[in-house]
Amino acid sequence: MRTKLFSFVLMFTTIVSYAQQDAQFTQYMYNTININPAYAGSRGALSIFGLYRTQWVGLDGAPETSSFSINTPLNNSNLGLGVSLVNDKIGPSNENNFSVDLSYTIPTSANFKLSFGIKATGNLFNLDVNKLNPADQGDPQFQNLSNVFKPNIGAGVYFHSDKAYIGLSIPNFIETNRYNDNDIAIYKDKINYYLMAGYVFEFDRYGDVKFKPALLTKMVEGAPLQVDVSANFMFINKFTIGVAYRWNAALSALVGFQVSDGLYIGYGYDRETTNLNNYNSGSHEIFLRYEFFKNNGKMTTPRFF
């Protein structure tokens, strides 16, 4: 048991050190602005979003992520603006990413629009050396890993209507090395490539029921291709229930409730499908979204994404 646990911790540390990825969200479909700046303002409302995720509960040093964002269309223009903050804690490391997003939207037909977006990000990285192996705590090589600031820039495109969407994005174009030893990057943020797509089917003959399959693919050098597929049902524009599968990684259950025209709350639970399942009790994710609409504060057409 101890040998297996030690092997896992070693594997986990290696993955984090050599192929650091962006923060991971199961309910990315409600938090799209974090991965695609072209999404800013696309909902036609001032949207305020907050999310908390605790991953692999019961495993010391497991990822813990908080996210907060605001995005809105700018009046009488095709522009959208968003700001977001993501805090990501993994073991002894603590990262804060502050981003500003700007989008420009072009109507391409009666139903579809094409949005382009750019993202400017400031990353603040900290490593708590007191959480490292005691033999390493006095190593001067680690002393410069406190409040390390790195700027970055990203971009995305988002083709969408009220029922369908597809998007491509690279949130960060610049690879950053946290620490180099003999010109080898020991801790490195690498470029993440995203492809997302979804479609909403309406089944009015069964009452007010909507069904939305969705896909998110993330690719980063040095890590396996990540593919998330999900299927969600919405009933009477109030209740949402669904499942998601992260290829060779986790199975998830998703629920949501439209409390009022402006307020939506969602919860997701992940269970690992790998041997990692033996060392934790799953991952939890909860979020709140509140939106202000132009039309007397009312949501004229409920959106499923």
Regions in the chain scoring below 70 on pLDDT? 1-21, 132-145, 178-188, 206-207, 294-302
- pLDDT of 85: 97
- pLDDT of 138: 58
- pLDDT of 269: 97
In 3D space, the residue among 33, 37, 72 whose CA is nearest the CA of residue 51 turns out to be 33
Q: Which long-range contacts (CB under 8 A, 24 or more apart) does 144-151 make?
A: 144/179, 145/178, 145/179, 148/124, 148/178, 149/122, 149/123, 149/124, 149/125, 150/122, 150/123, 150/125, 150/174, 150/176, 150/189, 151/120, 151/121, 151/122, 151/123
114-173 confidence digits (pLDDT tens): 999 999 999 998 887 777 665 555 555 555 567 889 999 999 999 999 999 999 999 999
Predicted TM-score (pTM) of this structure: 0.85
Alpha carbon distances (Å) from 58 to 25, 281, 282, 283: 19, 6, 8, 10
- pLDDT of 235: 93
Classified as helix, coil or strand, 84 is strand
Alpha carbon distances (Å) from 176 to 96, 190, 217, 245: 14, 7, 22, 30
Q: Which long-range contacts (CB under 8 A, 24 or more apart) does 235-238 make?
A: 235/207, 235/208, 235/209, 236/207, 236/208, 237/208, 237/302
Which helix (H) or strand (E) is 8 found in, with range?
helix 2-18
Indicate the burial class of 88 (C-beta count within 10 angstroms; 0-12, 13-18, 19 or more): buried
- pLDDT of 4: 40
- pLDDT of 267: 98
- pLDDT of 1: 39
